[in-house]
Structure 1
Amino acid sequence: MIKNYLKIAWRNLMKNKGYSIINIGGLALGMAVTLIIGLWVHDELSHNNYFKKKDRIAQIFQSQTFNGQVGTGPAIPRPLEFTLREGYGDNFKHLVMASWTTPLYLNYGEKSLSKEGNYMQEGAPDMLDLNILRGEKDGLRKINGIMLSKSVADALFGEEEPIGKVVKVNSQFDAEVTAVYEDIPVNNSFNDLQFILPWEKYLTLFEWIKNAEDQWGNNSFQLFAEIPENSTMGQVTATIEDVKKNESGDEAEFEPKLFLLPMKDWYLRSSFQNGQQVGGRIKYVWLFAIIGAFVLLLACINFMNLSTARSEKRAKEVGIRKSIGSQRSQIINQFLSESFLVTLFAFILAVIMVLLLLDGFNDLARKEIVFPWQNGFFWLISIAFVLLTSLLAGSYPALYLSSFKPVDVLKGTLATGKYAGLPRKILVVLQFTVSVAFIIGTVIVMQQINHAKNRPVGYDAEGLVQVPVMSTDFEGKYELMRSEFIKSGAVVEMSASSAPTTQIWSNRGGFTWDGKPDSFQEDIAWTEVTPEYAKSLNLKILEGRDFNREFASDSNAVLINETAKKYMGLTNPVGTFIKDEDIEDPFPPMKIIGVVQDMIAQSPYEPVKQGVYAFDKYGNQSFYNLRLNPDRSASENIAIIENVFTTHFPDIPFQYDFVDTEYGEKFASEERIGTLSAIFTALAILISCLGLFGLTSYVAEQRKKEIGVRKVLGASVFNVWNMLSKDFLKLVVISCFIAIPIAYYVMNGWLQDYPYRVLLEWWIFLLAVVGAMAITILTVSFQAIKAASANPIKSLRTE
């Protein structure tokens, strides 16, 4: 019986090839989009699956209140470790202090690499359950040891045995390779952990880290934890949340609260507003999951619409089947079999599409998704997916067509009635409601990105290059390198800074100044710079003056930005003295000598943070900022700079970044979302248009005799086009009225996550309406004009 059903279904598909192509093609396109989105969603949700203990690993976060606003982050003070170990040790299986991930230079023989890694306490390899390929898991016990990822070990040693080899680190010290571990896959935290150095070594390298042992206000470290199996994150958080408040003395005024952020939340739910966890990337997962579901729904609607639209052609078949004894259930099974065959063909075509498009999608989404050929669960889900889709797409046509009465059909008295086409109209409205909502959403996403992109950056990023100089080799070499770079002709100005141009690395408090309110809790971005900083960035001085090498007093001078002037409540800031209460006398107060234009160093979607630029008198330099010669090409300038660099630092790999490229990375996530949304919107519209094209073909075929009569009576091509088009345009207008309030509500909520955001303007919604109507007219017009231009004799001769 099933074989017979499938054979008849195949004959019907072959008999109506145009209809079959539209049906299978539209459904395949919808399924391909859903498959790609499904693979992307799975990849997002499987983040950190590499770590077997991810449900028990957490990072210690803290929230602090500044002037009524709660800020949350992972930076913690060093003494917190001792307090947790001594008073709350039973709540943890591991406590691991760590530095921030930073690039260091690794040298072996003539090979020199710049790789990223961390200083971590010895429990880190066990907590993360690293896969040790060579050496021992307790490789951090040796203060002069280093653990390397396999890729770094291969790059440094090739075929040599790495264990026991000595690597020079940052030209500061030698480290013996104690272990080689498997590279952590890309779709995981710590995937950039290319080496691990002992925490005890970190403590010996920098005086400020030693001094931080009892400084509760110095939030410069990370602390990771693993909780016991018989405990929960909530229980441990409840136990430790007030620890810092109780122990930190003066810090208690900021009302600090500690909590554990589980590893499973690091990637998808790491956003906080005013101390509350508000999600994060998970919103994009839900967004695309919903888009995938709707795109598949649109494809299924096409199938239902086209199947029911052809009901009159299949009506006699149903009537004959019923008259010779077929049960309604058998007819339902027949149509469901056709639906299954169409869905199966569509799925096979969809898989082919996914295989062809996956590499491009990976490039666009910055993923490394592979098609799960060997994943049995995927194929189980796929089978269920095909069955569910065939049931969803074929259920309505099957129930509708099987309900015809054979007597009415065979007598030719099948009355479709005034409302017979209502279900199809409802489905068309639903299709275009989704499409119009997608159009509005995509336009608003793109507008928000462009709104932030067009925001004044505050400095000239074009032709500005930054070079990392975080090695002892660079100490005391700034003046020499500045002279050499400028002498080369490739650089017109150069400065050094303690942080990159596009980031804030240090936030400080404890300042006083005349007029500061007693209860004011300051939180200021702190960057140390050389005197040429403003010149190298083309940073505009709005009040006062820039640093001047000729003035010895400028060693205790600072520049502030516009936001800091307002934040500190200073009407005439130039000449005001700032005192750092955390530093004892006789350290002199710092004098404000100028106000610079605000520059965006954090997210371009957020307000500029109040910042202070202090004269760098201790050589606290992390980056050289080079302004390239505009009279030469960038490639020529870089080649000259590299030659100068390698002449003075032959054992250090030359690295650089264009600041405008680094700044552009701040838009990368939103741009990817916007681009993907635009693509999926275009595909949703295409699917809707395929359905509309098929329906128009059916209507034109159904009314061809009416069109012939109208033309004989003098109707023009425009009259016939208007007759066939206006019904569909009415449905699209109804869709617009439904889609606009839905899109407004959803996108207005989405924009609330951005303090610096675009306004929802009326023209966006008008554009979507006009666009939808234009698409409808173009889709309908082809068949409408074709029908209107046909010779009426051909349609009337058949009577």
Structure 2
Amino acid sequence: MKQRRLHNEGAPGWAIRFFYWYCNDHLCEAVMGDMLELYRRRRSRLGKKRADLLFIFNVLHFLQPFAIRKRSHSTINHIAMFKNYFIIAWRTMSRQKMYTAIKIGGFALGLATCMIIFLFIRHEISYDKYYTDSNRLFRMYNQYKGGDDSGNWTSFPAPVAQILRTDFPDIEKAGRLIPYNWYNAGNNLFRRQDQIESTYEEGFAYADPEIIDILQIPLVYGNPRHALDQPNTIVISKRKADKYFPGEDPVGKTVIFNEDKSRPYTIGGVMKEFPVNSHLQYDFLITLTQEEFWKGEQTSWCCWNYNIYLRLRPDADPAQLEKKLLSVRDTHYVGYLKEMGDKSLEDVRKYHSFRLQPVSDIYLQEEVIWDNLRHGDVRYVWLFGGVAFFILALACINFINLSTAKSANRAKEVGLRKVVGSVRGYLVRQFLTESVLYSLVSFALAIVIVCLAMPYFNGLAGRTLSIPWSAWWLFPLLLLSVLVIGFMAGVYPSFYLSAFKPIDVLKGSISRGTRNSKMRSVMVVFQFTTSIILVIGTFIIYRQMNYILNTKVGFDKEQVIMVQGANTLPNQKTFKDELRKLPGVEDVTVSSYLPVEGTKRDQNSFWREGKSKEEKSIGAQKWYVDEDFIGTMGMKLVAGRNFMQEMASDSQSIIINEAMAKEFGFKNPVGERIMTWEVFTVIGVVEDFNFESMKGEIGPLAFVRGGWGSIAAVKVKTEDMAGMIAQVTNVWDKVMPHQPIRYTFLDESYARMYDDVQRMGQIFASFAVLAIVVACLGLFALSAFMVEQRNKEISIRLVLGASVNSIFRLLTQNFVMLVLISFVVAAPLAWYLMQEWLKDYAYRIDITWDVFALSGLLSVLVALLTVSYQSVRAAMVNPATRLRSE
């Protein structure tokens, strides 16, 4: 650029620099002189601000084709140049096979981990995003913010949906769904009317006809407008239709639930299966048309059993609609409480509200909303995203460390290229091309690793992930990733290597690999800090899971057989009596309610008799159990007595847990009378036990006597469980000869409550191992390079009498020190992160020092083992073989 000698007269400097950058040399001085002269006149006449604007306009206006500087065209054949770059890169890779294998292997592991995590995150965030009008689909839920009683839940009384349809023009459609075990929702025995033997099926839900339209459920057979609009109709999935009616259109055919021949159901339609990324997974939708579970249930505000889904009109504002929905609460619900004489109506006005949740937010909901559905965890999405980033960073660090460590081997090449005329820009381009080539080969290997590892990951995560080969965006994304990651990993080594000065290289003043060693040490510390955090996290997750599965929870879960389908038995008492005759059977109870997820739940409001005007109600679970339930489950009565079969008055008796007694403030609960739409007398108090996940505190629970249920729990004491199962099966076959027995074990059902957390712990452990492997690959390569660099020094030390042990210490002490520094950095970070994770559990372990000691010791041992091979090998070689050239 031509040197600028003109005084700028106060004109904008950046505009002058821009002018000199684009303008032809032969025009620069004359034109700029005229512009500055004009600028000086305008400034004296118009002021500086306007003169600046006009000067900038002149600079930009002069940007014409005739005035633009003609750039000299390089005569370099770019195709030949890049061909040469690839040849040099390939020769470099071939000469340094071990370093190349470590670079590519570490890169490939990091990339494969990122791909798998990307597929996992993509799957998790895709839930319920497939609706064409997803921005208009909402689920209603209740929010109560009142101190200790705060919470969110999705159940509503039966009349709410109809009120929404008629009174709120912003709502286009409203439909109810019962997604949990309640009457025939949940699981049932199922058969065609013309079959004899029933099959146990899961995935039943009650639904209004509007649900098919709101959730855009496509039907293979039947009319979506009329599939559920008649009483006692059902829509089944295509896979179940193929199972029970192969090759037929089953619409209009009759099916039987639970051997109840008095109430057959007619198939109104066949739907496609819910997508795997839907928060709803059902094979059977039972109509709610004219359904009434007890007299007056459809018009009563007493019981909250229905989830409500809405589709709003295109111009509706969800936030404004939430405010309008308060009128439903104030008019109907508060009116009902007032009619019941409940004092809590003022608290309802103050703390309670109806909220709208987008359907697309349900699976990864950030708020805890009780809905009895399976959810993902947005924190795991962020966590695994972070893990992917750090493992990829570890792989990139290996590449950078090895590239800079081996820089002396490329110094002469850089010096000679500069001597013969190469400029730094071309050298940077060369080394970036090599980096992209490494990235390309690593990506190819990573895809192979992903294909091999995907079945294992799916088994761990309980997902069905696959590479979407047919997606249009896949290969452009892979190509972009190759370029970006190759550039990211290669940019620092490229500028570092290209900065060598020819004079220093040719004089031999470039030190062999010691330059920038501090940066490499920092990177090693970062690698092992990340790895140690993952190791500590893995240990703590496993300890917490072990605590959950093995701690006493207030009931006996070992050796309890759960026989499904007890509600279909012709006589439950006969079945129980026959089982009790078996040797090894301690007790039997029949109930639909058990202290594991997936069994029936029934939330009710309770208040003290005669004191409803002075005290607010308490929300509690109400379980129907028989007189054998407490004994069979190994629960402990801390006050009062159990139900007694011979006492008819026990039909109006109730047993509460300690948490419920505390909520009521009872000092002596036995004899107290409490209400929940009927009056009960407290006859006993059972010791608190965990009947939900240990993430939450034990809540209020009440037992009332009921002699009917769907599960027979058989408490046994035997060392021959297979023989015991055979005996129980024989008893079942005598009572139900046409119905095969179905059973599970209570301890296995309890463990399944924590399946997701255990899976995530196993995935976390797998990623921790991968992080250690990637870090150790880099450490192994650096130790090999260090030994190569100090070969002659080691040989001279050996000649002078150094022992193998002293050489080993010399070569390993720096690496051990780096790992110890990593541990010091990682320990407090891991402690903080795991404390935050454990806050989700009401019952949790304490983080003890031995977890950190074990993790630190393991890290040091792994590091020592990694560098030992090269160190011992170097110390054992005959010095003469290295010094003979001297």
TM-score range for the pair, normalised by the shorter chain length: over 0.9
Where do residues 524-535 of structure 1 align in structure 2 (5 Å cutoff)?
A: 524-535=620-631
Q: In structure 2, what is the equivalent of residue 672 of structure 1?
A: 759
Alpha-carbon offset, residue 690 of structure 1: 0.4
Is the 2:128–2:278 contact (alpha carbons within 8 Å) kept by the matching residues of 1?
Answer: yes
State the distance in 1 between where 2:612 and 2:146 align. Answer: 15
- Show the counterpart of 1:610: 700
Q: Deviations over 1:356-383 (max 9, x none)?
A: 1111111111011112111221222111
Q: Which amino acid aligns with 2:380?
A: Y
Per-residue CA deviations over 1:136-194 (Å, capped at 9, x if unaligned) read 11211222332111011111111233122222233242222221111113331222x21
Q: Could you say which residue in structure 2 is the equivalent of 1:104?
A: 188
What CA deviation, in whole Å up to 9, does each residue of 1:615-650 have, x standing for no partner?
22xx4523322224x336333333443443344345
Render the CA deviation track for 1:405-433: whole Å, top value 9, x for unaligned: 11110111225797631221121111112
Q: State how 1:170-189 maps to structure 2 within 5 Å.
A: 170=258, 171=260, 172-189=262-279
- The equivalent residue for 1:445 is 541
Deviation at 1:320, TM superposition (A): 1.2
SS of the counterpart of 1:700? Answer: helix
Distance verdict in 2 for CA 1:470–1:269, change over 3 Å: farther
Distance 1:714 1:241 in 2: 89
In structure 2, the partner of 1:243 is: 328
Residues 1:578 and 2:578 are matched in the alignment: no
Q: 1:580 and 1:755 mapped to 2: Cα distance?
A: 29
Residue of 66, 73, 91 corresponding to 2:170: 91
Give, in whole Å, the separation in 1 of the partners of 2:606 and 2:313.
38
Contact 1:605 1:756 in 2 (8 A): yes
Give the aligned partner of residue 258 of structure 1.
Answer: 354
Higher relative contact order (CA 8 A, sep 6+): 1
**For the residues of structure 2 that align with 1:418 and 1:309, how far apart are their CA atoms?**
7
What does 1:293-372 correspond to in 2, within 5 Å? 293-372=389-468
Asked whether 1:410 is paired with 2:494, we answer no
1:743 aligns to what? 830
Distance 1:517 1:716, change over 3 A: farther
1:14 to 1:100, Cα distance in 2 relative to 1, 3 A: same
Task: Check conservation: 2:533, 2:826, Cα contact below 8 A.
Answer: yes
SS in 1 for 2:220: strand
CA contact (8 A) 1:26 1:690 kept: yes
Find the residue that maps to 1:431 and give its secondary structure.
helix
- Structure 1 residue 694 corresponds to structure 2 residue 781: yes
Per-residue deviation, residues 63-99 of structure 1 (Å, max 9, x unmatched): 23566421111111122223322322x1212100122
Q: Which residue of 2 aligns with 1:522?
A: 618
2: distance between equivalents of 1:675 and 1:400?
Answer: 40
Cα drift, residue 226 of structure 1: 1.3
SS at match of 1:220: coil
Pair 1:305–1:534, CA change in 2 (3 A) = same
Instruction: Give the TM-score taking structure 2 as reference length.
Output: 0.84
Equivalent position amino acid for 2:149 in 1: Q
How many pairs does the alignment contain?
779
* Greater Cα shift, 347-356 or 133-142: 133-142
2:635 & 2:288 partners in 1: Cα distance? 39
- 1:70 pairs with 2:155: no
For residues 418-437 of structure 1, the aligned pairs below 5 Å read 420-437=516-533
Name the residue aligned to 1:123.
Answer: 210
Which residue does the alignment assign to 2:710?
622
Change (3 A) 1:133 1:514: closer
- Deviation readout 1:120-150 (Å, 9 max, x if unpaired): 1111111121221112112112223321110
Q: Partner residue of 1:152? A: 240
Q: Distance in 1 between matches of 2:875 and 2:319?
A: 70
Deviations 1:255-298 (A, max 9, x none): 321111111111111532899xxx96010001001101110110
Residues in 2 aligned to 1:216 and 1:40: alpha-carbon distance in whole angstroms: 42
Q: Is the 8 A contact 1:466 1:624 kept in 2?
A: yes
Q: Does 2:103 correspond to 1:16?
A: no
Please list the CA deviations of residues 35-70 of structure 1 after superposition, one character each: whole Å capped at 9, or x if unmatched: 111111111111224443333222111023566421
Residue identity in the other structure for 1:269: Q
What is residue 380 of structure 2 aligned with on the other side? 284
Shift of the 241–797 alpha-carbon distance from structure 1 to 2, 3 Å rule, reads farther
Contact 2:565 2:710 in 1 (8 A): yes
1:375 aligns with 2:432: no
Contact 1:50 1:185 in 2 (8 A): no
SS in 2 for 1:627: strand
The aligned counterpart of 1:272 is 368
Alpha-carbon spacing, 1:442–1:515, altered in 2? closer, same or farther (3 Å): farther
Give the direction of change, closer, same or farther, for the CA distance of 1:304–1:242 in structure 2 (3 Å limit). Answer: farther
Give the superposition deviation at 1:212: 2.8
Residues 725-764 of structure 1: CA deviation (Å, up to 9, x unaligned): 1222222222222222322332222222222222233332
Gaps of 5+ in 2: 1-80, 181-185, 338-343
Comparing 216-225 with 233-242, greater Cα deviation is found at: 233-242
Cα 1:470–1:214 shift into 2, 3 Å = farther
Residue 591 of structure 1 corresponds to 682
Q: Structure 1 length as normaliser, TM-score?
A: 0.92
Q: CA RMSD in A?
A: 2.5
- 1:79·1:215 contact (CA, 8 Å) conserved in 2? yes
Partner of 1:775: 862
Q: Which of residues 185, 197, 200 in structure 1 aligns to 2:289? A: 200
Code of the residue aligned with 2:539 in structure 1: it is V
1:754 and 1:493 mapped to 2: Cα distance?
Answer: 33
**In the TM superposition, what whole-angstrom CA distance separates every residue of 1:680-700 from its partner, at most 9, and x where no partner exists?**
001101100000000011011
1:229 aligns with 2:308: no
Letter in 1 for 2:289: E
Tell me, yes or no, if structure 1 residue 601 matches structure 2 residue 691.
yes
Secondary structure at the residue paired with 2:761? helix
After superposition, the C-alpha distances for 1:558-614 in whole angstroms (9 at most, x for unaligned) are 3222333333333333x322231522xxx5x4132x332322210023222222212
Cα separation, 2, equivalents of 1:675 and 1:237: 42
Instruction: In structure 2, give the amino acid aligned to 1:576.
Output: G
Partner SS for 1:119? strand
Specify the SS of the correspondent of 2:392. Answer: helix
| 8 Å CA contact retained: 1:104, 1:470 | no
Q: 1:516 to 1:712 in 2, by over 3 A?
A: farther
Distance in 2 separating the partners of 1:81 and 1:137 = 20
1:5 aligns with 2:85: yes
Cα distance in 1 for residues equivalent to 2:425 and 2:661: 79
SS of 1:429's equivalent in the other structure is helix
The AA in structure 2 aligned to 1:760 is I
Relative to 1, partners in 2 of residues 1:12 and 1:674: Cα closer, same or farther, differing over 3 Å? same
- How far off is 1:514 after superposition? 9.8
The DSSP-based 3-state class of the residue aligned with 1:36 is: helix
Q: Distance in 2 between matches of 1:394 and 1:235?
A: 53
Per mean C-alpha deviation after superposition, the further-off stretch among 415-424 and 50-59 is 415-424
Structure 2 contact 165–172 (Cα < 8 Å) conserved: no
**Counterpart AA for 1:145:** T
Aligned-residue identity in percent: 32
Q: For the residues of structure 2 that align with 1:287 and 1:712, how far apart are their CA atoms?
A: 53
Provide the C-alpha distance between the structure 2 equivalents of 1:389 and 1:485, rounded to a whole number of angstroms.
66
* Matched ranges for 1:643-722 at <5 A: 643-650=730-737, 652=739, 654-722=741-809
Residues 716 and 690 of structure 1: CA distance in aligned 2, closer, same or farther (over 3 Å): same
